[in-house]
Amino acid sequence: MEADEVYGDINEKASQNPTQLGLLTEYIVIKEKLLAIKPNNLDFILATRIHLAIETSHEGLERARFSVSKSILVLDGTGGVGSLVI
């Protein structure tokens, strides 16, 4: 039986007082909700880059208290974070 390849953030509150800054391992025990199944057409490097861009754009929108009734100006929305905000 072959296992799924997954990626994600090992620390549930990574932006709030991180206790561990990184991890390079083949096996780890972790909460399932912190992981996502890696798409077959992505390698691990690209999957982690996308994960970081998603996390950064989401946190930025939360810090700006963005909501449906507000608008936001995104400058240089051609990179990972900017395009995800758009």
What pLDDT, in 10s, does the model give residues 22-73? Answer: 566 677 777 788 788 888 898 888 887 887 888 889 999 999 999 888 888 8
CA distance 43 to 27: 17
Residue 16 has pLDDT above 70, yes or no: no
Question: How far apart, in whole angstroms, are the C-alpha atoms of residue 47 and residue 33?
Answer: 17
Look at residue 21 in the predicted model and tell me its pLDDT.
53
Extents of the domains making up the chain:
6-85
Angstrom distance (rounded) from CA 17 to CA 3: 32
